[in-house]
């Protein structure tokens, strides 16, 4: 049995994989050509696969994505027509992303940026009339109630916030969510929410789903956040909304182009907090991902069903 590792960061853990599965050969490469040469007879790939790898790794039966998002499948247009099973690591990143989301939210609501700048100036600005906001009693609207959305909702409830949500599919409503509907109810969610958090995956249906019209539905006092993937919100529309003086603030951990170019106007948009797509990253997340990959590999070797199977047609 051979596993080919197609992404460099997972390759850092190859010794751990070899210790845990001495009966499995793990191979990798520094270029696509090296990956294909090493893994042409591999049944399993750990990491994303593009069309070149798909055509070169002719023995693949299972692709294990080390991320929750699998938008990399767009780079392998032939994949949906194959019998290859694709899995992801949904759930592994949820807690860390939820913590990061609340870090950004508290940063915006409590004006930590302005206080930190004042600290560097040795200036006491308590009486400066900063527009501080508390979270208790506010309504958080979550767009996408998957593992990440639910982890954020749990924390919002702990902050005594009212949680409402919409999702692309009918899902069960947890006790800590007050209202739950389908994406057709997005407009109502935007109108009612004091904080909006977008956690849906990027698909042809969600790309650009929040533009000028949707942003106009938000309260002037709202905070708008995206922590899943770039391209879901129309970035020029968000910039114009912020420049107009609307919204208490916005936060993006993801952008349509990553890394965000130095000359991109997002950098200078007022009241916008940008973090470099690091919300999933933590020691705990890496441990969770490795555990999920190992658990599924045990299932595969035992001929058991795999966990977290991706619908290749839907893209998640």
Please report whether residue 166 resides in a domain: yes
* 260 lies in the same domain as 287: no
Please report whether residue 307 resides in a domain: no
The pLDDT tens digits of the residues spanning 219-241 come to 999 999 999 999 999 999 999 99
pLDDT interval class at 290 (50, 70, 90): very high
The pLDDT tens digits of the residues spanning 1-12 come to 999 999 988 888
The pLDDT tens digits of the residues spanning 125-145 come to 987 778 899 999 999 999 999
Please report whether residue 293 resides in a domain: yes
Please report whether residue 208 resides in a domain: yes
Give residue 34's pLDDT.
Answer: 97
Give residue 11's pLDDT.
Answer: 82
* 269 lies in the same domain as 143: yes
Strand ranges across the sheet with 179-182: 179-182, 162-167, 139-143, 195-198, 223-226, 249-252, 272-274
pTM of the model: 0.92
Strand partners, 63: 45, 86
* 87 lies in the same domain as 125: no
Q: Does residue 111 have a pLDDT over 90?
A: yes
Distances from the Cα of 273 to the Cα of 34, 99, 269, 270, 290, angstroms: 40, 16, 9, 9, 31
* 158 lies in the same domain as 287: no
Share of the chain above pLDDT 90, in %: 94
Please report whether residue 168 resides in a domain: yes
Coil, helix or strand for 214?
helix
Please report whether residue 315 resides in a domain: no
Give residue 10's pLDDT.
Answer: 86
What is the number of structural domains in the chain?
2
Q: Which has more confidence, 106 or 69?
A: 106
Helical pair 112-120 and 94-109, crossing angle rounded to 10 deg: 70
Give residue 283's pLDDT.
Answer: 94
**Other C-beta atoms lying within 10 Å of the C-beta of residue 158:** 10
* 131 lies in the same domain as 118: yes
Q: Does residue 29 have a pLDDT over 90?
A: yes
* 102 lies in the same domain as 11: no
Give residue 12's pLDDT.
Answer: 84
* 133 lies in the same domain as 241: yes
* 80 lies in the same domain as 220: no
Distance from CA of residue 14 to its chain's centroid? 25
* 180 lies in the same domain as 291: no
What's the CATH code of the domain at 63?
3.40.50.720
Residue showing tokens 């849906």: 200
Share of the chain above pLDDT 70, in %: 100
Contacts of 304 (CB under 8 A, 6+ apart): 298
Half-sphere exposure of 306 (CA within 13 A, CB side): 23
Please report whether residue 306 resides in a domain: no
pLDDT interval class at 271 (50, 70, 90): very high
* 172 lies in the same domain as 74: no
* 239 lies in the same domain as 111: yes
Give residue 184's pLDDT.
Answer: 95
Provide mean pLDDT across the span 106-110: 97
Average pLDDT, the chain: 96
Provide mean pLDDT across the span 99-104: 98
Expressed as residue numbers, the domain containing 59 is 2-91+283-301
Give residue 230's pLDDT.
Answer: 97
* 241 lies in the same domain as 296: no
Q: Does residue 245 have a pLDDT over 80?
A: yes
Give residue 94's pLDDT.
Answer: 97
Catalytic residues: 229, 258, 277
Q: Which helix (H) or strand (E) segment is 224 a member of? A: strand 223-226
The pLDDT tens digits of the residues spanning 249-268 come to 999 999 999 999 999 999 99
Give residue 13's pLDDT.
Answer: 87
Which ranges in 255-282 belong to alpha helices (H)?
none
Give residue 126's pLDDT.
Answer: 84
Please report whether residue 137 resides in a domain: yes
What is the Cα–Cα distance from 33 to 28, expressed in whole angstroms? 11
């Amino acid at each position: 049995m051979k596993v080919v590792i197609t992404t460099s960061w997972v390759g850092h853990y190859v010794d751990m994989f070899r210790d845990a599965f001495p009966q499995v050969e793990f191979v990798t490469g520094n270029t696509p050509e090296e990956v294909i040469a090493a893994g042409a007879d591999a049944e399993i790939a750990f990491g994303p696969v593009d069309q070149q790898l798909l055509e070169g790794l002719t023995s693949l039966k299972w692709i294990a994505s080390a991320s929750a998002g699998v938008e990399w499948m767009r780079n392998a247009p032939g994949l949906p027509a194959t019998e290859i099973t694709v899995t992801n690591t949904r759930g592994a990143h949820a807690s860390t992303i939820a913590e990061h989301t609340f870090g950004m939210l508290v940063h915006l609501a409590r004006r930590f940026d302005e206080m930190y700048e004042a600290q560097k100036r040795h200036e006491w600005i308590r009486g400066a009339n900063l527009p501080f906001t508390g979270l208790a009693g506010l309504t958080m609207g979550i767009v996408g109630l998957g593992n990440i959305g639910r982890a954020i909702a749990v924390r919002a409830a702990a902050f005594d916030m009212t949680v409402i949500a919409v999702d692309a599919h009918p899902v069960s409503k947890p006790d800590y969510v007050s209202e739950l509907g389908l994406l057709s109810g997005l407009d109502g969610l935007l109108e009612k929410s004091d904080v909006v958090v977008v956690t849906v995956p990027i698909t042809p249906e969600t790309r650009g789903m929040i533009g000028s019209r949707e942003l106009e539905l938000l309260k002037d006092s709202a905070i708008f956040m995206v922590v899943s993937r770039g391209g879901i919100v129309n970035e020029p529309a968000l910039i114009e909304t912020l420049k107009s003086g609307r919204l208490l603030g916005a936060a993006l951990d993801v952008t349509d182009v990553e890394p965000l170019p130095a000359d991109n106007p997002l950098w200078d948009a007022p009241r916008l907090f940008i973090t470099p797509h690091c919300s999933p990253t933590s020691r705990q997340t890496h441990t969770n991902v490795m555990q999920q990959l190992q658990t599924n590999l045990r299932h595969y070797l035992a001929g058991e069903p795999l966990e977290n199977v991706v619908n290749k047609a839907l893209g998640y």
